[in-house]
Chain A
Amino acid sequence: MGIDLKVKIGSLELNSPLILASGTCSLETFAFLKPEETGAVVLKTVTLKPRQGNPPPRLAETPAGLLNTIGLQNPGVEKFLEHEIDLYPSSYKLVGSVGGETIDEYVEVAKKLEASNRFAAIELNVSCPNVNKGGIEFGRDEMLLLELVKEVRGAVSLPLWVKLTPNTSNIEKIALETSRAGADALVVTNTFVGMAVDIETQSSRISTLSGGVSGPAIKPLALYLVYRVAKNRNVAVIGGGGIFNFRDALEFLIVGAQAFFVGTAMLVNPLAAKEIISGLKEWLAGHGFHSIKEIVGTFREPS
């Protein structure tokens, strides 16, 4: 089964279309991965200053879904580069995820990550629903987002990915403008804002009012957003949201994503990435394909 797994996201060549989503991968995860089958691993978002994160409970399970309110817990970019980055294996393409409260903070963190020479790309997290300042504000406010992408683009030369929020009504426009501002790839999509109520106590099941929903529950919603963004063919799209098996991954590729990311599935089963890749290879070979690229964007519009 000689399936060519390689894909290109802008100028960056990846070993496979499978990318591990930010916040769902730890050092322990690598024991369950293979570098030749892994496109890239997006590390947990880092910010300029350390962030303690939100109080527990940070998680609530919903039918086929996971509601979280982690709140970008991280040690801050300096500690991260000093103590943590060297622990990650160099045989993988690592992507640094950047968060911030101001444009200057994003720029500074991106520059520091680039200077470490450990990253293949930078991902801007402009879509975290669980922080008071920054995060999702940038993803929703077009003008602010454009300025942010332009500023970071001007400050670093690494490929720039922007992880968009689904919690907006005009994702096509935001996507188009973001790519014009210099993003090399759009990552669609981050979690959907949601909530869950404990009926016994009549209060939120997580420590905050709302959180981000991921998992199979959001797959059809995410898929439709990816379809809409990928229709504009000017920019690479990395699609995902609730991908749990190779069939899910194929759906995202068919509607036009050049690569896909897996997140919550890894929390349920650390072998999910491996299983998805072997399923993909087998399916593509069985259907007469020779490479991943051949399936991308093959969706047939209803007549």
Chain B
Amino acid sequence: MRSKNKKFCLSKSRVILNQELAQRRFLLRFEAPEIAKKALPGQFIQVKVGGFDPLLPRPFAVSWTENDYIEILVEVRGKGSSLLAKAQEGESFNLLGPLGKGFSLPKGNTKNLVLVAGGIGLAPLRFLAWEASKNGYFITLLYGDKNQSCFLPLKKLLPEKVLVRSIVEEKNGQTGMVTDLLKDVIEEFKDSCFFVCGPKAMLKEVYGQLARKKIVRAQFSFEERMSCGYGACLGCVVLTKKGYKRVCLEGPVFEGEEIIWESI
């Protein structure tokens, strides 16, 4: 179903691949040509799982596209995501997308990008990494996760050229969070452009570190409880300098400078 003026479309799409990547984390590939054609890094789709319970569709960042296919990364958290994780190849779901405003790559001389990912927050940054590497950017990924068993297979998911620095919270030896990694390397990347996705507390900490170093080129992808995904219900908001903005429509990607971080 699609009409001329629509920015996004609704499609019944088959699962082509469902692969367990790590503990409670899955990669789903859908055949969704219309969405694949339009999707940009940072945008998301809504996946309708079940009938009346769960009732609402679930938002997932587009994590990769090629030809007729799109991929999402699913972390099992509740009813919706656990049903989706059990999806059989060949099973169909209603998808709505692509939705929201994504990342914008820097124009001009800046060719260095730093992606900061907390756990499953890697999902939209992965798509960005593929697009950016096609366009000749140099990419460093800082990735932090809870432990080794949920650690995502970065080599499999990312273009070869991406430089990776990673850390886990629970491990013998060097442990910490992605924000600790950032602290160690921030000086090297003062002229880079930052792209950040992860839990809210992490976004806030990253913003704080960047702000202290006067690094202003930073885009943050937010997550919020959502219902429609296309701007109708005003349910998923984040407080900005211009009042509450919809994560689904004016976001999910916001410039760090736009956000009232005290509210996070």
Contacts and interface: CB of A to CB of B under 8 A. Distances in A.
Interface residues of A, number: 36
B7 interface: yes
B6 interface: yes
B56 interface: yes
A241 to B, nearest CB: 14
B162 to A, nearest CB: 33
A64 B53 contact: yes
B88 to A, nearest CB: 22
Contacts of B236: 56, 58-59
A73 B234 contact: yes
A59 B1 contact: no
A205 to B, nearest CB: 9
A270 interface: yes
Contacts of A44: 234
Interface stretch (B34-42, B109-117, B121-129, B225-233): B225-233
A268 B57 contact: yes
Contact of B232 (A73, A266, A271): A266
A28 B230 contact: yes
A197 to B, nearest CB: 15
A62 B8 CA distance: 27
A275 to B, nearest CB: 10
A216 B234 contact: no
B56 A66 contact: yes
B243 interface: yes
A141 interface: no
B67 interface: no
B15 interface: no
B160 interface: no
**Majority SS of interface residues in chain B?**
loop
A232 interface: no
A84 to B, nearest CB: 12
A258 interface: no
A26 interface: yes
Contact of B48 (A24, A52, A268): A268
B2 to A, nearest CB: 9
Contacts of B224: 56-57
B54 A61 contact: yes
A96 to B, nearest CB: 17
Contacts of B10: 32, 269-271
A269 B48 contact: yes
B7 A53 contact: no
Interface residues of B, number: 35
A60 interface: yes
A23 B239 CA distance: 19
Interface in B44-59: 48, 52-57
B5 interface: yes
A143 B122 CA distance: 57
Contact of B230 (A26, A52, A70, A216): A26
A302 B78 CA distance: 43
B263 A55 contact: yes
A266 B228 contact: yes
A27 B173 CA distance: 54
Nearest to A274: B1
Contact of B227 (A29, A55, A59, A216): A59
B53 A24 contact: no
B239 A68 contact: no
B235 interface: yes
A248 to B, nearest CB: 11
A57 B226 CA distance: 9
Contacts of B53: 63-64
Interface in A248-262: none
Contacts of A70: 233-235
Contacts of B56: 61, 66, 267-268
A68 B233 contact: yes
B28 interface: no
Interface of A: 23-29, 31-32, 44, 52-53, 55-61, 63-66, 68, 70, 73, 215-216, 244, 264, 266-271
22 contacts: A23-B232, A24-B228, A26-B249, A28-B7, A31-B3, A31-B6, A32-B6, A53-B244, A56-B224, A56-B236, A56-B238, A59-B226, A60-B225, A61-B55, A61-B56, A64-B53, A215-B52, A216-B55, A244-B52, A267-B228, A268-B227, A271-B1
Interface of B: 1, 3, 5-8, 10, 48, 52-57, 94, 96, 224-228, 230-239, 243-244, 249, 263
The 9 closest A-B CB pairs, nearest first, are A267-B228, A26-B232, A64-B52, A59-B235, A26-B231, A267-B227, A31-B6, A59-B225, A28-B230
Given A68-B235, A70-B235, A216-B55, 16 more contacts: A24-B228, A24-B232, A24-B233, A31-B3, A52-B244, A53-B237, A56-B236, A56-B244, A59-B226, A61-B56, A64-B53, A73-B234, A244-B52, A264-B227, A266-B228, A271-B10
